[in-house]
Amino acid sequence: MTDALREELARIGDGAAPVAVSSDVWARGRRARRRDRLAAGGAALSVLVVLAGAGLTLRGSGSDVPPVATGVEAVPSVIHPVPERLGFGGIDADATWKPSIGESDLAIGRASVAFASGGYQPLPAVITAADGAYHLLQLPGWIGTSLAANMTPGMPLALSPDGRSLAWGWYDASTRGSAQVTAGVRIVDLETGRIRTIRLEGARGVEVASLQWSPDSRWLVWQGAELKRWEVNNTSWGRNVAGRIAPGATVSTSIAVSRGGGEQLAIDDEGTVAWVADGSYRFNRLDLAGTSTGHIDVLGNRPVAAGRFGPGASFAFATNESSSVATFFYEEPRRTPDDDGTLAYKDNAAMVPVAPTTRDLPDDRFPADIEPMGWIDPDHVVELVTPVHPISEAGWTEGDSELVVMSLGDGEQPAYDAVAHVAQGEEHDGRIRGVTVAVDLMTLDHPTRDFPAPEWPWSDERKLAVFGGAGVAVVAALVFVVSYRRGRRQTP
């Protein structure tokens, strides 16, 4: 059916006359670029001249933040984007952090948040848990901004719930265009810096698009696509593929699931993979033996992102199927020891979930994308909430996000508790992508802590403004002094 739609769209597209591009587009674009720089520099210069004249000193953007929670490992209360200018697009090479700021030593210690930032070619950044410092990592083979994988930026990056391991999709750019592009998943121990490489093969290569850790930070499930063609700016995607990586393993086990819509996968502490089927509204699980072990009706609710397993055999996913967005909590008995001691499901009754609990978003946060990040305890799920449309009356703009603790129980904790803000960048759409959080660091009493805002290297415009402004101030002072002395000499 949709093949017919594809063909019809292709026919419509073929009927479109090629646009006659103006010959001065390049010149106009460059003029605009120069205007940008002049305007930025001029505006900053004007401001700074005034400040310098008033005897004020410039301070960094993070000078007013609350004091550091020294030595306490925690998730920060504000997650800042990284300026795009810190990235670098090399000649015939993928984008990377500028050598002067990118870190190749990955032994940075336990982390609290990982994300990709930096505009249209997002690069990986990690915040360390003890000091809230931002580390712009040069992950070997980072696929998120590769020339071939440029339609999936920022997604193949996942910090483990304990904050000790970071997984990412990688590929060997030197093999691009060959019969088999070398690619797969890499995992680094952030405390030792040791990297584990898992190679994936299929078609011309396997491009990893997303990753998720199990709650105990040991298992990993990945999703991606086989590429039929993988060259610079010339890629063709084949079928969706997925796999799971066991604790310590250097190989991946393929997951043979029939996933019509490419449903997003979650994995539990036993390596069981789960997803909610797009068409049938059923919660499916696939254990290590490849046996489908459960089909639970999710009552017509379709997830908008991968769900998350939690403690006590619970599972959370978010949906926007109805008029409101809700998080569902499912609980079901796990396998219990059989007479011979093996774990097995007793009967179908074991598959029946406890009635799902829903928590709607507040009115001023709807409609929004909502993505489970993990569980704090059996009653509390951490979600990343991003409004789909601008919500000016709520003070939000499109792209603003917040980390929220949603409560299942009816206790004193609020059902919707925003505990961290994901600041929006000023470049392009400003969104931080692929956020994952070390939820093991979060507690109900102290879900997040305040850390100083990062101090990024100064931009060229800021250097021009500061040093130029200082120069202008000095000249102005000299002129004033000279004028003053002349005035005194001329005074009878």
CB of 370 to other proteins, least distance (A): 8
User: 379: exposed, middle or buried (C-beta count within 10 Å: 0-12, 13-18, 19+)?
Assistant: buried
- Report whether 245 contacts 218 (CB < 8 A): no
Cβ-in-10-Å burial (0-12, 13-18, 19+) of 34 comes to exposed
Choose the stretch contacting other proteins; rule: CB under 8 A; options: 7-15, 103-111, 352-360, 405-413. Answer: 7-15
| Cis ω before 367 (30° cut-off from 0) | yes
In the complex with other proteins, the residue whose CB is nearer, 338 or 460, is 460
Task: Pick the closer one to other proteins by CB: 127 or 225.
Answer: 225
Residues within window 332-361 making contact with other proteins, judged by CB under 8 A: none
Q: Can you read off the two tokens belonging to residue 21?
A: 């591009």
44 vs 123 by CB, closer to other proteins: 123
Asked if residue 166 lies in contact with residue 187, where contact means CB atoms within 8 angstroms, the answer is yes
Task: Tell me: does residue 12 bind other proteins (CB under 8 A).
Answer: yes
Q: Looking at 77, 112, 117, 121, which residue binds other proteins (CB under 8 A)?
A: 121
Cβ nearer to other proteins, comparing 34 with 485: 34
**Residue whose C-alpha is closest to residue 126's, from 160, 88, 90:** 160
What is the nearest approach in angstroms of other proteins to the Cβ of residue 472? 28
Which residues in the 258-287 window bind other proteins by CB under 8 A? 261-262, 264, 278
Specify the amino acid at residue 205. G
Candidates 54-62, 236-244, 342-350, 456-464; binding stretch for other proteins (CB under 8 A): 236-244
Determine, following the binding rule CB under 8 A, whether residue 179 of this chain makes contact with other proteins.
Answer: no
With binding defined as CB under 8 A, does residue 38 bind other proteins? no
- From the list 59-67, 103-111, 142-150, 175-183, the region that binds other proteins by CB under 8 A is 142-150
Q: Tell me, residue by residue from 410 to 449, as one string, x for binding to other proteins by CB under 8 A and - for no binding.
A: -------------------x-x-x----------------
How far apart CA 76 and CA 69 sit, in angstroms, is 10
Tokens of 356: 């799902």
- In this complex, which beta carbon is closest to other proteins, that of residue 52 or of residue 241? 241
- Out of 240, 253, 358, 413, the only residue in the binding site for other proteins (CB under 8 A) is 240
Ramachandran quadrant class, 234 (left: phi over 0; alpha: psi -120 to 50; beta: rest): beta
Query: Shortest gap between Cβ of 159 and other proteins (angstroms)?
Result: 18
Q: Of 33 and 346, which CB lies nearer to other proteins in the complex structure?
A: 33
Q: Is 299 one of the binding residues for other proteins (CB under 8 A)?
A: no
Cβ contacts of residue 232 below 8 Å, gap of 6+? 92, 147, 148, 176, 177
**How many residues sit close enough to other proteins to count as binding (CB under 8 A)?**
75
Q: Does 308 bind other proteins (CB under 8 A)?
A: no
Stretch that binds other proteins, among 116-124, 132-140, 194-202, 332-340 (CB under 8 A): 116-124
Q: Which is closer to other proteins, CB of 132 or CB of 202?
A: 202
Our finding on whether 17 is near other proteins (CB under 8 A) is yes
Q: Which of 10, 299, 354, 481: binder of other proteins (CB under 8 A)?
A: 10
According to CB under 8 A, which residues from 377 to 396 bind other proteins? 386, 388
**209 scored as a contact of other proteins (CB under 8 A):** yes
Contacts of 110 (CB under 8 A, 6+ apart): 73, 128, 129, 130, 162, 163, 164, 190, 191, 438
Do residues 177 and 230 lie in contact, with contact meaning Cβ atoms separated by under 8 Å? Answer: yes
Residues 39-98 that bind other proteins (CB under 8 A): 84, 87, 89-95
**CB nearer other proteins, residue 48 or residue 221:** 221
